[in-house]
Chains A and B, each alone.
Chain A
Amino acid sequence: MNESLERLKEEVAGRLSRSVSEAEVEQLRVEYLGRKGTVTGLLRGLKDVAPEERPQRGEELNRLRAFIEERIAGCLESLKAEKRSKALTEERVDITLPGSRRERGRVHPLTMVVDEIVDVFSAMGFEIARGPDIEDDYHNFEALNMPKDHPARDMQDTFFVAAERLLRTHTSPVQIHVMESRKPPLQIIVPGAVYRHDDDATHSPMFHQVEGFMVDRGIAFTDLKGVLTHVLRQIFSADARVRFRPSFFPFTEPSAEVDIGCVICDGKGALRDSHACRVCKGTGWLEILGSGMIDPEVFRFVGYDAEKFSGFAFGMGVERIAMLKYGVEDIRLFFQNDLRFLRQFPSF
């Protein structure tokens, strides 16, 4: 290549390498390769070159043009990359800023607990049944083997709305409703509100129970133990200790109170500072549900043959389970609906 072309090449390379914007590069492209550009002019001047020199001169000029085009493309590309990389730096967000969203609501913690209990039983094939909150004396007491003037009625102080109409004191009347209208086999759970004439830090005049029962041929006390042990281990923990001890309910016999190892002191009855555990009162056990084999008298009231069918029933307090699971100390918190309380639970 002759010296002047060589110089031209260096000049272009130099100017391109110093250019800082796409516009500048475009200007150089026009200056050298545009219609009136230097290289275009040289190519146009080929016709004045001696014919024997023309091929070589032509080739040199073409190479020069290809060189310039290539440099321009490369230059544009690196300018673009530079620009993107600058933008990427500038567009960086502070990922420690909080996400932006509408505040989500919350399902009430008692609903969460009922849902959980219901799911455990549903997985075992139990169906849901419901009944009225305002009951008659017959379903709430009489048919559950609690005749008038029975001292067991003292265990359940009652709100009355009329002489024989009352706010159900337990979900057990639904047992009667279901058995009055259906035949065994039955495996039913009944979530619902119940009412007692009582009001303090551990008793609310309204609270929730999940009642359940199973009736078929050949259901025994061992089945009661098996089912309830399984259920409590689902609700609390797989290695929860469960104990059954005799108790009295007019509508079951044998009756059993079911305890789990205290979830606060881990069943030790004492805390690490060796003070007695307040939650289980130092016993290491928490009363969690009442249960028993359905009393033949109840079967008689609903017209079942107690020689043919047997079954068990149980009831558990939802608030009590929620208080133990979440460490809530005052039952009234559940009904004040203070957002500072409710928002402590997850949104799903």
Chain B
Amino acid sequence: MKLTLNWLKEFVDLRDAPEKLAETLTMAGLEVESLAPARAPDGSEDWIFELAVTPNRGDCLGVIGIAREIAALKAGRMKAPARKPAVQKANANAPVKVEIQSPRACQRYSAQAVESIRLRPSPDWLRFRLEAAGIRAINNVVDITNYVMVETAQPLHAFDLERLDAKRIVVRQAKEIATFVTLDEVERRLAPEDLLICDGDVPVALAGVMGGRDSEVHQGTTAVLLESARFDPATVRRTAKRLGLHSEASHRFERGVDPEGTVAALERAVALLQEIAGGNTFGGIIDRYPRPPAPAAIAVRHARVSEIVGVDIKPAEIEKNLKALGCKVQATKAALKVTPPTYRGDLTREADLIEELARVHGYDKIPSTLPRALLSGKPDARLRADRGVRSYLVGEGLVEAIHLPFTSADINRRFPGLLAGEKPVAILNPLVQESAEMRLSLVPGLIEDLKVNLAQRAEGFAAFALNKVFYLDTKDEPAERYHLAALLYGRRGRRGLRAEEAPFGFLDAKGLVEGILDGRGGEWSWNAADPPAFLHPGRAARLAAGRAELGYVGEIHPDLAEELSLGRCLTFELDFGKLLQYLSPELAVRSLPRFPSVERDLAMVVDDAFPAQRIIDWIKDLRNVLIEKVEVFDQYRGASIPEGKKSLAFSISYRAQDRTLTDTEVQTVHQELVARLGEVFGAQLRG
């Protein structure tokens, strides 16, 4: 809402300078967004105010409403309204009949015919104020309707009277009328519940939204019918929103205009038409007002005001301030009976009036207190886990990334996340088609980041994301999961003198996941079978806890990497929410062993495809009490190893709980183990 200071001064004697007034308005909830000096066409000094009017204050979408607000805030005094001629009611000469067929959608319809109009550009002062209000000047008739709208918050519309053939205004729902050409010459598709102003059977305006092409004021117009109505806010809003027709008028109707204000606005417009366009009224004011609302009194309890605001606002101040806001106040024993003015349709409950009281009292005059302590807070396990895993990955050199969750159907098809076949959530009104779905996986976002950083000549890239992914559940309902994913590329970053770091490989990605699971108990298993299609089939594994799938780790499939113009990338993605359920919450520390352990190594030559874990599992399955730990520590292919084979080296740690093992004891057990391994796996044992 923009207006000039001098316009405001026609209605209120201001106490303060413009800057002080702006401060007062801002601190009362009418935020002044800008204030700029201007010079009116007559050379006088003026100021242009731009106010942010909240949706509940339709009354402040007019200069008069703001003047009233200033008076209520005691920053000025309303001027006495100019004495107006008595309203001339519609008489037999009224050229038009008005019928409201939808009284729920149109509470009041007032109209006045004006003839002998000379259409021409508006005078400079009017153009200046209109343009200061952000409205383009067109001709005196249209400008006057807009001027009065900005002044009174009541939108007006002018029909060319001669183009209303039937001379019978009917306010009705569109129903069977399917299309309508608005004054911007666009044919609009109507919904049956759109409210139309018709001339007989012919639509001439979309009520409160836009007039029609065929009844518009034009060069040859000499007589108009001025419309000043109160349309139902929701009806106007639905139509305006559906057709994308947001206008100064619809904006005001949506916020509710004063049903008691239609006639006053007409009178103001008529006065201006007479003054500026030489028009004459005829036939009196036609006014259809089927069911004037009965003003309901609201009980305002002094105790409740104090309870909500927290300070004792005295009954006398309550009464005085409510009256200043235009309310009628009647004191009863229990409460004040308050009837708000008709232009304040937002005041319907005690809570609304308490807000008004706090506002007029001044928020800055309300003290600060701290509530008595509630000691029922609990620490948050998820927050702890999030912080823990972040700190771990950051220590490992990974940077946290945050992405918009939107992606394309194509990306979702290539990166379907943890469980193949899950359906993505589609957005009905995406900003662009490339972001028409919600991500199924966090990995594509990380790949995008990698590309951004490679374009900036980053040498390596290691990042993670901890965030939600979205999918349709088995009932096709949108659902969410909390994932942790990472992407590794190139070499690990180093600081200091140059030193060689091996490029990231599968085991680095797997190692990061193992680091998360380390010391957490639980039964984890890695499975190479059936990896996701976007991973290298020979360099991928799924992580499970029992039968629960927790995620995958692997190398991005070389075909895909090539398509994305990337080199080798390693990734993992975990269902972090589910993983947390499988992490053992309890820790039990074993006491330290009293006797030393003895280490023995062994190396076996096996087929290249033979998994090391099989040997470890087999040894563990022996359940030999002396075998404390088995680990693989080397894998070797090369000179001394036949083609298609590899050598695996294991270290076995022997220990007894009750004594120090002797060399011979260990030797016997170890020899036997080596012999049996040879038999069972047909493996050639080395060293």
- Residues on A lying within 8 angstroms of B by beta carbon are 97-108, 110-111, 115, 118, 122, 125-128, 130, 132-134, 148-152, 154-155, 159-162, 165, 167, 185, 187, 193, 197, 199, 204-206, 214, 216, 218-223, 225-227, 229-230, 243-248, 253-257, 281, 293, 295-297, 310, 334-340, 342-343, 347-348
B74 at the interface (CB under 8 A from A): no
- Across the interface, do A161 and B403 meet the contact criterion of CB distance under 8 Å? no
- Across the interface, do A221 and B429 meet the contact criterion of CB distance under 8 Å? no
Nearest A residue to B463 by beta-carbon distance? A337
- Across the interface, do A225 and B394 meet the contact criterion of CB distance under 8 Å? no
- Across the interface, do A160 and B404 meet the contact criterion of CB distance under 8 Å? no
**Distance of A254 Cα from B309 Cα, bound (Å):** 8
Main secondary structure of the interface of A (DSSP, over half): mixed
B-side contacts of A118, CB under 8 Å = 383
- Across the interface, do B371 and A162 meet the contact criterion of CB distance under 8 Å? no
Nearest A residue to B370 by beta-carbon distance? A226
- Across the interface, do A102 and B492 meet the contact criterion of CB distance under 8 Å? yes
Known A-B contacts A134-B480, A159-B429, A222-B369; A335 and B493 likewise in contact (beta carbons under 8 Å) = no
**Distance of A152 Cα from B55 Cα, bound (Å):** 6
**Distance of A127 Cα from B375 Cα, bound (Å):** 11
**Distance of A134 Cα from B29 Cα, bound (Å):** 32
- Across the interface, do B370 and A149 meet the contact criterion of CB distance under 8 Å? no
Known A-B contacts A98-B497, A222-B369, A295-B351; A342 and B399 likewise in contact (beta carbons under 8 Å) = yes
- Across the interface, do B404 and A205 meet the contact criterion of CB distance under 8 Å? yes
B625 at the interface (CB under 8 A from A): no
B443 at the interface (CB under 8 A from A): no
Which of B94-102, B320-328, B359-367 lies on the face that meets chain A?
A: B359-367
- Residues on B lying within 8 angstroms of A by beta carbon are 26-29, 31, 33-34, 54-57, 233-234, 237-238, 254-255, 307-311, 349, 351-352, 354-355, 358-359, 363-364, 366-371, 373-380, 382-383, 387, 390-391, 393-406, 425-431, 435, 438, 449, 452-453, 456, 458, 461-464, 468, 470, 478-480, 492-497, 499
**Distance of A134 Cα from B464 Cα, bound (Å):** 23
- Out of A162, A216, A222, A339, name the residue touching B461 (CB < 8 Å): A339
Query: Closest Cβ of chain A: how far from B233's Cβ, in Å?
Result: 7
B-side contacts of A122, CB under 8 Å = 377, 379
Nearest B residue to A255 by beta-carbon distance? B355
- Out of A103, A161, A244, name the residue touching B425 (CB < 8 Å): A161
Query: Closest Cβ of chain A: how far from B66's Cβ, in Å?
Result: 15
Query: Closest Cβ of chain A: how far from B170's Cβ, in Å?
Result: 24
Nearest A residue to B446 by beta-carbon distance? A337
B-side contacts of A243, CB under 8 Å = 27, 363-364
Known A-B contacts A133-B480, A151-B237, A225-B366; A245 and B27 likewise in contact (beta carbons under 8 Å) = yes
Instruction: Jot down 6 A-B pairs with beta carbons below 8 A, ordered by A.
Output: A133-B480, A160-B427, A206-B406, A220-B369, A253-B354, A337-B402
Query: Closest Cβ of chain B: how far from A15's Cβ, in Å?
Result: 48
**Distance of A32 Cα from B607 Cα, bound (Å):** 70
A-B contacts besides A149-B233, A246-B27, 18 pairs, CB < 8 Å: A100-B496, A102-B397, A111-B390, A125-B374, A126-B377, A149-B238, A154-B55, A160-B428, A162-B428, A187-B374, A216-B374, A225-B363, A246-B28, A253-B351, A253-B352, A253-B355, A337-B401, A347-B394
